[in-house]
Amino acid sequence: MAALIAYKCSHISNAVRRNYLTLLLVRRCTTAQKEKKGIVLGIFETDNDVDGIAFTPSAENFNQRTSGKLSELLHLSGQTLKKGKSRLFYGIDKEYTSVAVVGLGKQSAGVNELEEINESKENIRTAAAVGARQLRDIGIKDIEIDPSTDAQAAGEGASLGLFAYDELKQESKRKPHVNLSLHGNQDSLDQWQKGILLGDCQNFARKLMEMPANKLTPVEFANQVVSKMTDLDHVQTTIRNKQWIEEKKMFSFLSVAQGSNQPPVFLEIQYSGCSNKDSPPLVLVGKGVTFDCGGISIKPAAQMDMMRGDMGGAAVVVAALLAIATLKIPINVVCLTPLCENLINGEAVKPGDVVTAMNGKSIQVDNTDAEGRLLLADALHYGCTSFHPTAIINAATLTGAMAVALGSAATGVFTNSRKLWTNLYMAGIETGDRLWRMPLFEHYTKQITDSQLADLNNIGKAARDGGACTAAAFLKEFVTCSHWAHLDIAGVMTNKDEVPYIGKGMSGRPTRTLVEYASRIADDIC
């Protein structure tokens, strides 16, 4: 068939030839697509091959299986495929109705020091996502993915690329469920399954972030997480109520919750993965504001609906613990998520009010929309003093200033530990979910300790200038651990087109980076 098409098109332009080729093959196979499988194959760019491409091992085997049809069709359709770009072919194999071929870039890409990512892994994640989405969108429900030399990265990309939060739509408008499987050599099946798991856990964070606030109250957030953790070994979940929070004197946290009729919740999850139960844990803390209108310092109406994702820090840390426990990484982990809404009623905290945190420090609340740091203040103090962790990491959609500083390229990290930073940084390179270190200078601490009525001011006298830095300086006042990192994820909360394998919507970043970090330190502390 391909040879016949090539003969018929020999006298016309390449563009017309490509369109004619596609049209004939689409007509031939449209009726069978819903019943057959699809496959995603990768090809590398090369300067040596006569066609400018080189097949992955799986793609080469497929090409031989089809007696060279794949290479012939690629040649007819225009040869070179840039990374992330794809072409669909139909009817060249009896088992696979549709074939998505995706460019992987240079095979020797490796770590890009300027971009600070493992470019080869990122290209594979993107290729798997692009190919899987294209096949799903033409009705293919069983898709095999070429491991493309890294089965874990392929699994991550495929899982993340197919995520869609559409369960509240009519069934006819939802994306179809797709069965994913590894194509080719099953020796890398374990890595493939790990990649799928990591993608699925990040997708759990994305689902929580996408859920409307009327569907995901603080209590419902806790219930969803507990349900997800039920069948995991060595995991204990505890939902703390308002009375417990009051007994712990977490009045900074409670000051945010008092403007809502929804009761606050302090969710505590412990995973004992280390054989030595006394090994100091890694403590993960997540900001859990299930909706943030800003309180009396109310936000602008435009895009306020996105504040359903202001519990992104909590979603990320529980998703990371879910992955850590499922993978049975040998480490002890404690996850703490203070959960509430920041709304307005007759009881809401007012600008100028003074509240007292668990550690005894008084706080002048001059901006009720700087509420995330008030939750985290009590949670960080509780985490440090109750668990004496080897490290404590908090994640929060904390400041618009971080989005201004870094955009969506990387998570901003403030830390008092070079060792902690180095491990986090290397984890980000591996996962492609980058981190960038920000300053914790005394310059910023002076701004939040200069308060007229209390020990601290929740926004600092400079207000707008260095807002992400003064927020971090505020948190530092409640940390007694020598290894602490604050991850401001406001800039990476959503994804437009920045990370092609994630797609549009809530991102769940940097879930996989936290899991990779835990894997890196496990041997040293367990």
- Residue 26 pLDDT exceeds 60: no
User: What are 119's two structure tokens?
Assistant: 């470019």
Note the maximum CA span of the chain: 85
- List, by residue number, the catalytic residues: 299, 373
Average pLDDT over residues 202-217: 98
Position 299 confidence tier, pLDDT thresholds 50, 70, 90: very high
Domains and CATH numbers, the chain: 2-184 (3.40.220.10), 207-525 (3.40.630.10)
pLDDT confidence of residue 464: 73
| 3 state DSSP class of 296 | coil
Position 526 confidence tier, pLDDT thresholds 50, 70, 90: confident
Q: Alpha helix (H) ranges present in 350-466?
A: 372-387, 400-406, 418-431, 442-449
Q: How far apart are CA 471 and CA 380, in angstroms?
A: 14
Summarize pLDDT for 465-497 with one digit per residue, the tens.
899 999 999 999 999 999 999 999 999 999 988
Burial of 125 (0-12, 13-18, 19+ CB in 10 A): buried
Beta carbons within 8 Å of 323's beta carbon, 6+ residues apart:
197, 198, 201, 511, 512, 515
- Residue 23 pLDDT exceeds 70: no
Q: ∠ at Cα 338 (334, 341), nearest 5°? A: 155
pLDDT confidence of residue 29: 42
User: What are 310's two structure tokens?
Assistant: 């202001």
- Residue 7 pLDDT exceeds 50: no
DSSP character string of 188-252: GHHHHHHHHHHHHHHHHHHHHHHS-TTTS-HHHHHHHHHHHHTT-TTEEEEEE-HHHHHHTT-HH
Q: How far apart are CA 427 and CA 433, in angstroms?
A: 8
**Predicted TM-score (pTM) of this structure:** 0.92
Summarize pLDDT for 133-142 with one digit per residue, the tens.
999 999 999 9
Average pLDDT over residues 225-251: 97
Summarize pLDDT for 376-432 with one digit per residue, the tens.
999 999 999 999 999 999 999 999 999 999 999 999 999 999 999 999 999 999 999
Q: How far apart are CA 396 and CA 436, in angstroms?
A: 15
Beta carbons within 8 Å of 284's beta carbon, 6+ residues apart:
317, 320, 321, 333, 334, 335, 336, 392, 393, 394, 395, 514
Query: To which residue do tokens 């850590």 refer?
Result: 324
Position 184 confidence tier, pLDDT thresholds 50, 70, 90: confident
Q: Is beta strand 353-356 parallel, antiparallel or unpaired with respect to 362-365? A: antiparallel
DSSP character string of 3-48: HHHHHHTTTS-HHHHHHHHHHHHHHHHGGGGGGSEEEEEEEEE-SS
Q: Alpha helix (H) ranges present in 87-178?
A: 119-137, 151-161
pLDDT confidence of residue 14: 47
pLDDT confidence of residue 79: 60
pLDDT confidence of residue 33: 43
Summarize pLDDT for 325-341 with one digit per residue, the tens.
999 999 999 999 999 99
pLDDT confidence of residue 458: 96
125-129, 183-187, 437-441: the lowest-pLDDT one: 183-187
Q: Which of 318, 327, 312 is nearest to 402 (CA)?
A: 312
Query: To which residue do tokens 């260095």 refer?
Result: 466
Q: What is the chain's mean pLDDT, rounded?
A: 91
Which residues is 342 bridged to in the sheet?
A: 292
Highest mean pLDDT pick, 31-40, 220-229, 274-283: 220-229
R_g of the chain, CA atoms, integer Å: 25
